[in-house]
Amino acid sequence: MAKANKSQKMEKARRGTLMLLAVFLMGSAVVRIALEAAPAIAREVADIKSDEAPVEKPVAATGLASVPDSAEMQAMLAAFQKREEKLAAREAEVEDRMRALEIADQAIDKKLQDLEEAEQKLLATLALADGAAEQDVTTLTTVYEQMKPKDASALFEEMDPTFAAGFLARMKPEAAAGIMAGLSPEAAYTISVVLAGRNGEVPKE
């Protein structure tokens, strides 16, 4: 009887030990499964979120991209201000050049006006000189005409043939003939050639 009770107790103890081992093994399996499944579940959740994210992110990204932040606004304003300063400086430079050109044009106009006035004065002076010279030549021609042919011939003999021919061409024919008659044959011939050449240059028609 005692042996039977002892064997029953040992059997119960063995069963209890087996149950405890079974519980430990099951708990260990559950923990191992949980540890191995957790990363996989996390990856699946991340994949699901990444699949769903593009639906909402472009809208948010688009909205943010359309509104620049304060730093970008300040950079844009600084660039615009710098460009405006460059344009203002170039405009001022162009205005300065235009004023310089205007002043130069006024100076050139003044110089041209002065040159025209000087030219007019010079022409008037030349006209007076020509008139005076013409008057002097006319006076000398009259004097030579009134001289005795012999005395006038002596003067014309010493003159340059071209110069003498100019006076003889202005004289009356009879006075010129009297002077020519008193010249030496060489002087008379030379003056005649000059007179003939001058007359040959006169247009016939």
**Cα dist from 74 to 63, 66, 86, whole Å:** 20, 16, 18
**Cα dist from 134 to 38, 128, 179, whole Å:** 133, 10, 22
Residue 49 lies in a domain: yes
Domain shared by 152 and 191, yes or no: yes
| pLDDT at residue 60, as a whole number | 45
CA atoms within 13 A on the CB side of 137: 15
Structure tokens at 179: 């002077």
Domain shared by 107 and 82, yes or no: yes
| pLDDT at residue 30, as a whole number | 56
Domain tally for the chain? 3
Structure tokens at 68: 């620049």
| pLDDT at residue 199, as a whole number | 62
Residue 65 lies in a domain: no
Domain shared by 153 and 189, yes or no: yes
Domain shared by 122 and 157, yes or no: no
Which residues in the chain land under pLDDT 70?
A: 1-68, 128-130, 199-205
**Cα dist from 142 to 54, 166, 171, 176, 180, whole Å:** 123, 13, 8, 11, 16
Structure tokens at 149: 């042919």
Residue 185 lies in a domain: yes
| pLDDT at residue 71, as a whole number | 85
**Range of 153's domain?**
147-200
Residue 79 lies in a domain: yes
Against a cut of 0.75, is the pTM above it?
A: no
